Structure 1
């Protein structure tokens, strides 16, 4: 700094030669800097020096101080200081900034004060009327602040909030939605923590909670161990309950959240969620456990007078109950990877009793389906021209219910799907390899599939498949897209069943040839662009399907041994499949023609589309079930419409119509609207009674239901949300939720009431209310 003083003094003398002025203008100072800064020996090339720029620069030799006044800017490395006046003591190197002082750090953090005293490197010192803004959000203020050399700050008579300090129309300051006020607040830069002594939590200036000590990560900290915000409420089954999660940052690559749930009417539950990342992948583990009896919707266990009609399914007595969801995915190389997924619970009703959601459908390669858990492991190799996989998987059923005999309320009836009848696949093998075909062009796919399925009780299934599939796309001069295709494959089967005297072994060779053609017409308009695309696909199948081999007669009733490709349901995707099956087992002989037309319109930022399609067949044996929509020589008519308007409205509808009896077999219609203050969605779903096959209650799809949600913005910060799901066939509202939400971008408060009624009887119905809270930069917690 002495070098700068000498340099600036010489510059002043040169600039104002012959004049006796005590100061120089900022323009003259800047010119002097620009003239010399590029010189190799310029003092301004030294990063360890402080640079001051101001309207006036006063040299007070008698006090050995340098005073900069008017729009002062001071820079040291990556830190910047701004003030009305800066006094530099040449003896001590200390800097005193006075009036509208601002210090800006390299990370964007900003401190404000009326007076700050700092050391020569702008690092440590004290400040009055201090305010700090963190780069990631959050404000700290204090009557006095002490800035330490390590960059940390001690605040006295201070507070912290993530809310903006806005002003009302009359100029007075609004109280923040929430703030933490304390006698002393300490920010530790090394630990990235903020500590409070004698802290009070305030909401709109009203004290709510006091604690002698409190700590939380500062906004610059990405991960930090500590208590998360709790969650509580009241449930019809639990009574009053409280959850207090604790977050443990085990390492930079692993973390654990442990959450005990304390409940009024039943024993406590402990939940845990663990995540760890590796160089090659990651694992996620979620679980919970308790030691308790089965309890009904009111939190009551079974009494001594209760009698289970099936003693093997008794739910009586305290025991360890738990669940575990775990999955992992790892890369072996750029081509190969492996993974696993584990989903299990100690009983079929555990998840429902404790309101634990089933896993997402992307838990692995295989989805267990509605109310079924799946355990799986897999190996996959994939590049642009091939994909190979080997896997194994099995299931656990959650399908069932618990009811009281209406004629004798002390008799308990438990219905539950038998897990021993569910399949275990070991292994499932799949291979696809693509080749470019010379001479005739197109692409050839060589494929193979092997499935080996067994059950503890029931049928076993083994199949090997290998084949070739070719396709090429050509374009005519008129713009017609023509795609010829051909396929041939061989299947080898061995089917085992208790209803067969010996294993059924057979082979079959199948194939088809066909062509898919589409012609797109586009008509640009002044206001609306229209498109029409008719499409036709014709397929001739060869080979003997041998569908009779998949049938066994027990007690005069035929039963299917099919495992792959069951439950066909005609939609737009299946319509354009050459073989109308989702798997390998079913094969349709003969000739089939599929026709459809797409209509589209676009105008401004709006679009609308409609698709109509139907399939026709001849020379085949009718093996399709009526529920598939493909039985007979003509299929059901399928329609799909979509609209998306710039006004915020969008909608879609999917229909399946049986023209023989004039029945809508399936209706699935949804509409959505998003506006400035109102948003909502509604979905109506109906399937024909043919689909409502009897089975375990709770596993069926409701034949007719309507669901939706609506959100209304009541004020700038308050909104209301309502969610409902109504089973129209049973005339029961399965789920309702009403929530009031406050959100001002620094605080989220949600107070909700929820009611559920399902087909699980004593094991599922519940109701209650709860509170969710999220404070910006302090974290949030909402139970899964």
Structure 2
């Protein structure tokens, strides 16, 4: 609640100028009526630049009663204030100002104040205002009160209300969506506080929360020590809890928030957030402690956490920051922490980044920590520590961007804890292997390519690439016995690549259509990739052959793997537009291994090349088609076809439909079996529908059906959003069990805050 009635009262000082417009030289009668037109009246000679614009239907001067009254459609402009009312009277005898009837004041900051009656002394220290409504445009909030009493520096509101709903601030037969009511509110202009006595929150006319007392700073205070709005939480893990935050101003550039949160089903949580602001950034220190009175398996009675988060802009190019967190073991209380800390998978990191016109630099130290309980795979493959991870890239575009020279560098140092010297003494012949120990790598790559337009518009792009890698491994894999031993060794490798990209577009234009047919041929000659089986694959886990990766030099996503051998990529790309009715985009092609070692035919530590469609001499056919019938309907499909039996190895098909506020999507995905990871073949149908019922109500539904399962996972959501609140209710079931559903409700009240989601499990 932010307002100041001194502005309202100050605007009425024009009545002090009414003595000026009394007829001069003739004694005034007991009562004179003057029909008035809009006029500009100087306030006095000593302040000639302060002028009043006054207009009304008539002005009544009563010398016997010592009053001056402006009657009918009174409008006043004074120093940026606009005041209007039905009648305004100045009593010269008792020095009071009285206004009545549709009083409206617009302040210079566009704040609007409405009232029905005003009676106040001319020194603005005492008075009353009745049927008061204030609109604050800064956040579109509304304050109302049946009456307000001004006593010196204090304004006391009787039965005040507060809301951010425009319709809720007006008399209405329907209960407001939400509104805060208080028995009494006190605005103290000396202490710059607003005191709410016995406030309670109503939603649709029902009281939800009640507090004995709330005191908040007014709009003149940016930071003030005191209690903040309480926080409420509930859910599957938390059950129910309430947080009581206390805000402390330490200095001009530092403050802190202390939160005390009792959780009846778990324990008492105390949190501290200390913030320090600098010219170049901000540092935040989080600390938390929970006394766990309901200890579950693997938990500690005393659970604590300490976190440091910082980000600094050293200059427009360089940025420095970190996110560090330490906690007790067996930690499950992350469910109760604030959003910045309530993550199951935490990444502790320190980073330094820089971005220039041609260069980019990124250096990080990373530590991964997964909150308990751990899954089977998480226990089998412990998370790595990476320090450092350095990426550098230099790109220079020359000769009107027809030539490009780039240099890429990477340093990665990965370590996993070793409990015993024999931890790696195991066979790894038919399963993924991620060894414990140290894996450090230095990679440097230089690339040159130039676009040349030849005869008939053929585009030639010659390519030259050189790459070198140096590994230090604290372990060694014996290929003869398929075992890993703890024997440190260095491994060096290089890759030389020369290539040529040829593209020939043919354009055909008719009266009703336009066609572009482009033939693409790529040839790459490279040395063989070495040490595929002995160096673990840590960062090249993504490999999919489709239309986007078909015409690329290196299909591996990271630095641990690089595509080697001699290979050619052949394909055709087509774009057609038909009388602006629909367009077709299509591409089809394949990759052929010519000489040397096929990088995709040899399984690495995680078997990334298996079932990729590239493991044979002649790859699968990669094809894609996109049909746009209009901006409303789009059909697209990607497929990978095995030429041996013309079966589809993988298919992704999607249909999108959009019309106004209605959106629909349906997709079909077929993924082959992956025996190495015990993945069966999957055929999945997914659909999603979203539409607006009216201006405030919308709904959506989704369906995901693995055709091998009996019950598809599905969800249904309903959302209500107006100018003051958002409500979302979601029902979803992601398990094959019909009783494995979850209902989630979220409530957000604008200007008050969000209520943590409530989960109900089936």
Do Structure 1 and Structure 2 share a fold, with TM-score over 0.5?
yes
Q: Distance in 2 between matches of 1:354 and 1:228?
A: 18
The answer for the alignment partner of 1:246 in structure 2 is: 245
Per-residue deviation, 1:520: 7.6
Q: Distance in 2 between matches of 1:219 and 1:128?
A: 23
The answer for the alignment partner of 2:491 in structure 1 is: 505
Q: Distance in 1 between matches of 2:580 and 2:107?
A: 47
Contact 2:654 2:665 (C-alpha < 8 Å) held by counterparts: yes
* SS across alignment from 1:622: coil
**In the alignment, structure 1 residue 465 sits paired with structure 2 residue 474:** no
The answer for the alignment partner of 2:175 in structure 1 is: 175
Task: Point out the more displaced range, 667-676 or 506-515.
Answer: 667-676
* SS across alignment from 2:417: coil
Q: Distance in 2 between matches of 1:45 and 1:606?
A: 71
Per-residue deviation, 1:442: 2.1
* SS across alignment from 2:611: helix
Per-residue deviation, 1:280: 1.8
Task: Point out the more displaced range, 577-586 or 76-85.
Answer: 577-586
Per-residue deviation, 1:107: 2.4
Q: 1:339 to 1:727 in 2, by over 3 A?
A: farther
Q: Distance in 1 between matches of 2:221 and 2:650?
A: 53
Q: 1:508 to 1:231 in 2, by over 3 A?
A: same
Counting only pairs closer than 5 Å after superposition, residues 744-755 of structure 1 correspond to structure 2 as 744-750=722-728
Q: Distance in 1 between matches of 2:116 and 2:338?
A: 54
* SS across alignment from 1:444: strand
The answer for the alignment partner of 1:592 in structure 2 is: 568
The answer for the alignment partner of 2:427 in structure 1 is: none
1:455 to 416, 424, 432: 416
**In the alignment, structure 1 residue 197 sits paired with structure 2 residue 176:** no
1:445 to 406, 413, 418: 406
Task: Point out the more displaced range, 322-331 or 463-472.
Answer: 322-331
2:596 to 616, 620, 636: 620
* SS across alignment from 1:617: strand
Q: Distance in 1 between matches of 2:732 and 2:273?
A: 25
1:146 to 145, 149, 169: 149
The answer for the alignment partner of 2:158 in structure 1 is: 156
The answer for the alignment partner of 1:577 in structure 2 is: 552
Q: Distance in 2 between matches of 1:44 and 1:783?
A: 60
The answer for the alignment partner of 1:101 in structure 2 is: 103
2:347 to 374, 389, 393: 374
The answer for the alignment partner of 1:392 in structure 2 is: 365
Contact 2:550 2:569 (C-alpha < 8 Å) held by counterparts: no
**In the alignment, structure 1 residue 88 sits paired with structure 2 residue 52:** no
Per-residue deviation, 1:471: 2.7
Counting only pairs closer than 5 Å after superposition, residues 675-754 of structure 1 correspond to structure 2 as 684-690=668-674, 693-694=676-677, 703-705=682-684, 710=689, 728-729=707-708, 731=710, 741-750=719-728
Contact 2:32 2:60 (C-alpha < 8 Å) held by counterparts: no
Aligned residues: 702
The answer for the alignment partner of 1:782 in structure 2 is: 756
Contact 2:233 2:241 (C-alpha < 8 Å) held by counterparts: yes
**In the alignment, structure 1 residue 486 sits paired with structure 2 residue 464:** yes
Contact 2:672 2:680 (C-alpha < 8 Å) held by counterparts: no
The answer for the alignment partner of 2:614 in structure 1 is: 630
Structure 2 segments unaligned to the other structure (5+ residues)? 1-13, 26-30, 419-435, 479-486, 601-608
Counting only pairs closer than 5 Å after superposition, residues 759-774 of structure 1 correspond to structure 2 as 771-774=745-748
Q: Distance in 1 between matches of 2:259 and 2:511?
A: 61
* SS across alignment from 2:564: coil
Q: Distance in 1 between matches of 2:599 and 2:524?
A: 17
The answer for the alignment partner of 2:117 in structure 1 is: 115
Task: Point out the more displaced range, 138-147 or 716-725.
Answer: 716-725
Per-residue deviation, 1:81: 1.0
Per-residue deviation, 1:129: 2.3
Per-residue deviation, 1:72: 1.5
The answer for the alignment partner of 2:540 in structure 1 is: 565
2:522 to 517, 520, 538: 538
Deviations 1:739-758 (A, max 9, x none): 55554433444455566659
Per-residue deviation, 1:102: 0.6
Q: Distance in 2 between matches of 1:426 and 1:112?
A: 63
Contact 2:545 2:613 (C-alpha < 8 Å) held by counterparts: yes
Q: Distance in 1 between matches of 2:504 and 2:538?
A: 34
The answer for the alignment partner of 2:185 in structure 1 is: 185
Counting only pairs closer than 5 Å after superposition, residues 266-277 of structure 1 correspond to structure 2 as 266-267=266-267
Contact 1:591 1:620 (C-alpha < 8 Å) held by counterparts: no
Q: Distance in 1 between matches of 2:635 and 2:123?
A: 62
Higher normalized contact order (CA 8 Å, seq sep 6+, divided by chain length): 1
The answer for the alignment partner of 1:298 in structure 2 is: none
Q: Distance in 1 between matches of 2:287 and 2:742?
A: 23
**In the alignment, structure 1 residue 341 sits paired with structure 2 residue 323:** yes
Q: 1:146 to 1:446 in 2, by over 3 A?
A: same
Q: 1:681 to 1:488 in 2, by over 3 A?
A: same
**In the alignment, structure 1 residue 517 sits paired with structure 2 residue 490:** no
Task: Point out the more displaced range, 211-220 or 502-511.
Answer: 211-220
Per-residue deviation, 1:732: 6.3
Per-residue deviation, 1:622: 1.9
2:388 to 424, 427, 430: 427
Contact 2:303 2:333 (C-alpha < 8 Å) held by counterparts: no
* SS across alignment from 1:656: strand
Q: 1:230 to 1:588 in 2, by over 3 A?
A: same
Per-residue deviation, 1:338: 1.9
Q: 1:283 to 1:510 in 2, by over 3 A?
A: farther
Contact 1:372 1:397 (C-alpha < 8 Å) held by counterparts: yes
Q: Distance in 2 between matches of 1:354 and 1:725?
A: 31
Structure 1 segments unaligned to the other structure (5+ residues)? 14-19, 296-300, 302-314, 364-370, 403-413, 553-559, 760-764
Q: 1:614 to 1:122 in 2, by over 3 A?
A: farther
Q: 1:245 to 1:94 in 2, by over 3 A?
A: same
The answer for the alignment partner of 1:71 in structure 2 is: 73
* SS across alignment from 1:569: coil
**In the alignment, structure 1 residue 54 sits paired with structure 2 residue 44:** no
The answer for the alignment partner of 1:328 in structure 2 is: 310
Per-residue deviation, 1:386: 1.3
Q: 1:228 to 1:483 in 2, by over 3 A?
A: farther
**In the alignment, structure 1 residue 660 sits paired with structure 2 residue 644:** yes
Per-residue deviation, 1:723: 5.6
Q: 1:537 to 1:771 in 2, by over 3 A?
A: same
Task: Point out the more displaced range, 374-383 or 446-455.
Answer: 446-455
Q: 1:349 to 1:204 in 2, by over 3 A?
A: closer
Task: Point out the more displaced range, 371-380 or 270-279.
Answer: 270-279
Deviations 1:49-98 (A, max 9, x none): 54423233444445454332332222332322101222234567643222
Contact 1:167 1:174 (C-alpha < 8 Å) held by counterparts: no
Q: Distance in 1 between matches of 2:121 and 2:584?
A: 68
TM-score (norm 2): 0.75
Contact 2:565 2:593 (C-alpha < 8 Å) held by counterparts: no
Q: Distance in 2 between matches of 1:322 and 1:634?
A: 58
Contact 2:529 2:599 (C-alpha < 8 Å) held by counterparts: no
The answer for the alignment partner of 2:481 in structure 1 is: none
Q: Distance in 1 between matches of 2:377 and 2:584?
A: 47
